[in-house]
Amino acid sequence: MRKGLTYPVHLIADFQHSAPPPTGAVLHVRRALLLAPQNIGLIVVSSGSAFVNGLVSVLCMIPELQSHKFATTNTLEAARKLVTGERV
Amino acid letter for position 83: V
Domain count, the chain: 1
Closest CA to 9 of 18, 1, 20, 17: 1
Residue 67 lies in a domain: yes
Q: What pLDDT, on the 0 to 100 scale, is given for residue 88? A: 38
Residues 6+ apart with CB under 8 A from 87: 8, 10
Residue 8 lies in a domain: no
Burial class of 72 by CB neighbour count within 10 A (0 to 12, 13 to 18, 19+): buried
pTM for the structure as a whole: 0.81
Domain of 56? 46-88
Q: What pLDDT, on the 0 to 100 scale, is given for residue 87? A: 54
Residue 33: HSE in the Cβ half-sphere, 13 Å Cα cutoff: 24
- Measured distance CA(82)–CA(22) in Å, rounded: 27
Predicted confidence pLDDT, tens digits, the chain (88 residues): 566 778 888 999 999 988 888 888 889 999 999 998 888 889 999 998 899 999 999 988 988 888 889 999 999 999 999 999 855 3
Residue 5 lies in a domain: no
Residue 58 lies in a domain: yes
Residue 65 lies in a domain: yes
Residue 55 lies in a domain: yes
